[in-house]
């Protein structure tokens, strides 16, 4: 959440920066106007409260002198009624300003590309060379179904579209991938966590999913609980309403979890395969850092995600997202996209973001600086990696003409030494 004081003091800059993210300037004007009215009421209320205090003292003195205080008592009743009315108006304005501000996206870092959509994204680097096939490469769902390791038909029968069964070596390969990822992140200093897979509304608010994106998740009816869309939510909220000791920073967490997405608005997109599911496994990375260190930590997180693909031998590239393509909470995002031969294109497999203080303000996560003052931490999150999409990339990049799939060397110890899935 953006600091209302910052908005108030930098109205033109906020309009320009958030305008690059599609926010209309009238929304900022309305927030500032309501905030100004709110502060005016606070001043009037404090004046009335002082007046009430003075009148109360005068009444007490009159009573001590055994004099009539009816006029002053009547005056105090009117003052009390006015204060009550102002308090009710103030509470309403507080709720309105908070709700409107909570729906504003984060301010983008000034160095990222400005543009309305993904066409304005900027490629930072390519890593690895896509394989040249001497046969027509098949899509991962076709490979998986023919090997009898992915079953989309029965997944749809049991749960609906965008669900599947991993079977046999398919389940083993999925497990090999996430165990490999967790082991790599642990070696890089991340503390492994098994988090709750359901969270309350306050947690969803803390990371920025609520109130704006309720249509994108699965909520449990009549309960203050939501199936997590990513382990970013429980990991970031680990320190909600806490002060992290400065000497602990930076804190690194990693977790494997299922992720549940309603995929609202994705009708007709990626209807086959593992790219866009309602339920999928993802290994998440989350960091808590001092502001002066957070962008170095973002680069390291991006490299940590990239290292997984390099060790798996998967070609990928890194792009910096534009203002119009970036997620709600992010100030800067680097996407890593893996090469999928059957689609002849790169597809997102990890998104690494620095949210600066945006989530920390919402979740009240702070630390004490060298002067003993409370400051908001910077929070970062990234996929390390989306497991199903990684499995899809392995199937497509390591497929053989006879329909078999070679197991990447680093995964063989996790697969009982198996080198080819036939």
Tell me the pLDDT tens digit for each residue of 153-176: 999 999 999 999 999 999 999 999
Nearest to 175 by CA among 198, 149, 195, 199: 149
User: Looking at 203, 329, 389, 396, which residue is catalytic?
Assistant: 389
Mean pLDDT, the chain, rounded, equals 95
Query: How far apart, in whole angstroms, are the C-alpha atoms of residue 193 and residue 251?
Result: 12
| The two three-digit tokens of residue 136, written as one number | 């027509």
Report the pLDDT value the prediction gives residue 146, as an integer from 0 to 100: 98
Do the annotations mark residue 349 as ligand-binding? yes
User: Looking at 261, 337, 353, 396, which residue is catalytic?
Assistant: 261
User: What backbone torsions phi and psi does residue 157 show, to the nearest 5 degrees?
Assistant: -65, -40
Confidence of residue 381 (pLDDT cuts 50, 70, 90): very high
User: Looking at 172, 351, 362, 396, which residue is catalytic?
Assistant: 351
- Whether 261 is catalytic is yes
Report the pLDDT value the prediction gives residue 377, as an integer from 0 to 100: 98
Do the annotations mark residue 284 as ligand-binding? yes
Q: What percent of the chain lies above the pLDDT cut of 90?
A: 89
Mean pLDDT to the nearest integer, 70-84: 87
Mean pLDDT to the nearest integer, 48-52: 89
Report the pLDDT value the prediction gives residue 74, as an integer from 0 to 100: 85
User: Looking at 30, 75, 89, 348, which residue is catalytic?
Assistant: 348
Confidence of residue 69 (pLDDT cuts 50, 70, 90): confident
Confidence of residue 14 (pLDDT cuts 50, 70, 90): very high
Do the annotations mark residue 242 as ligand-binding? no
Report the pLDDT value the prediction gives residue 108, as an integer from 0 to 100: 98
Q: What is the pLDDT of residues 88-141, one digit of tens each?
A: 999 999 999 999 999 999 999 999 999 999 999 999 999 999 999 999 999 999
Report the pLDDT value the prediction gives residue 67, as an integer from 0 to 100: 85
The answer, yes or no, to whether residue 62 has pLDDT greater than 90, is no
- Whether 172 is catalytic is no
Q: What percent of the chain lies above the pLDDT cut of 70?
A: 99
Do the annotations mark residue 342 as ligand-binding? no
Mean pLDDT to the nearest integer, 337-356: 98
Do the annotations mark residue 247 as ligand-binding? no
User: Looking at 8, 103, 131, 276, which residue is catalytic?
Assistant: 276
Q: What is the pLDDT of residues 210-219, one digit of tens each?
A: 998 999 999 9
Q: What is the pLDDT of residues 215-274, one digit of tens each?
A: 999 999 999 999 999 999 999 999 999 999 999 999 999 999 999 999 876 667 777 999
Report the pLDDT value the prediction gives residue 371, as an integer from 0 to 100: 92
Do the annotations mark residue 383 as ligand-binding? yes
Q: Any idea which of 67-76, 307-316, 319-328 has the lowest mean pLDDT?
A: 67-76
Mean pLDDT to the nearest integer, 25-53: 94
- Whether 348 is catalytic is yes
Q: pTM surpassing 0.75?
A: yes
Confidence of residue 1 (pLDDT cuts 50, 70, 90): confident
Please state the separation of Cα 272 from the chain's center in Å: 26
Report the pLDDT value the prediction gives residue 105, as an integer from 0 to 100: 97
Confidence of residue 73 (pLDDT cuts 50, 70, 90): confident
The answer, yes or no, to whether residue 305 has pLDDT greater than 90, is yes
Q: What is the dihedral of CA 72, 76, 82, 86, to 10 degrees?
A: 140
Confidence of residue 54 (pLDDT cuts 50, 70, 90): confident
């Amino acid at each position: 959440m953006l600091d209302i004081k910052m908005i108030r003091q930098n109205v033109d800059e906020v309009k320009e920066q958030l305008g690059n993210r599609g926010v209309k300037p009238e929304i900022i004007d309305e927030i500032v106007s309501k905030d100004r009215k709110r502060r005016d009421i606070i001043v009037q209320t404090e004046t009335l409260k002082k007046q009430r205090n003075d009148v109360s003292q005068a009444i007490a003195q009159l009573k001590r002198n055994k004099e009539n205080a009816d006029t002053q008592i009547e005056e105090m009743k009117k003052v009390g009624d006015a204060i009550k009315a102002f308090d009710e108006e103030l509470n309403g304005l507080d709720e309105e300003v908070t709700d409107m501000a909570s729906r504003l996206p984060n301010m983008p870092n000034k160095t990222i590309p400005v543009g309305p959509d993904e066409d304005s994204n900027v490629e930072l680097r390519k890593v690895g060379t896509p394989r040249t096939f001497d046969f027509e490469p098949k899509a991962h769902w076709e490979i998986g179904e023919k090997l009898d390791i992915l079953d989309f038909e029965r997944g749809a029968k049991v749960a609906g579209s965008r669900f599947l069964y991993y079977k046999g070596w398919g389940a083993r390969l999925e497990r090999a991938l996430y165990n490999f990822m967790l082991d790599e992140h642990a070696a890089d200093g991340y503390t492994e966590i098994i988090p709750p897979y359901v969270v309350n509304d306050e947690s969803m608010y803390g990371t920025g999913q609520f109130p704006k994106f309720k249509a994108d998740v699965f909520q449990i009816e009549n309960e203050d609980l939501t199936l997590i869309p990513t382990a970013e939510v429980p990991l970031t909220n680990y320190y909600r309403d806490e002060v992290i000791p400065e000497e602990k920073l930076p804190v690194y967490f990693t977790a494997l979890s299922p992720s549940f997405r309603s995929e609202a608005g994705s009708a007709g997109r990626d209807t086959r395969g593992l790219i866009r599911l309602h339920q999928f496994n993802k290994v998440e990375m989350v960091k808590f850092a001092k502001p002066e260190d957070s962008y170095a930590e973002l680069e390291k997180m991006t490299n940590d995600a990239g290292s997984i693909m390099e060790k798996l031998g998967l070609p990928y590239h890194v792009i910096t997202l534009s203002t119009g393509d970036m997620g709600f909470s992010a100030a800067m995002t680097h996407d890593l996209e893996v090469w999928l031969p059957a689609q002849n294109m790169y597809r997102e497999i990890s998104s690494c973001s620095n949210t600066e203080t945006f989530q920390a303000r919402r979740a009240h996560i702070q630390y004490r600086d060298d002067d003993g003052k409370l400051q908001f931490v910077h929070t970062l999150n990234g996929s390390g990696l989306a497991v199903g999409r990684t499995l899809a990339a392995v199937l497509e990049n390591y497929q053989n003409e006879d329909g078999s799939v070679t197991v990447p060397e680093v995964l063989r110890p996790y697969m009982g030494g198996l080198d080819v899935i036939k």
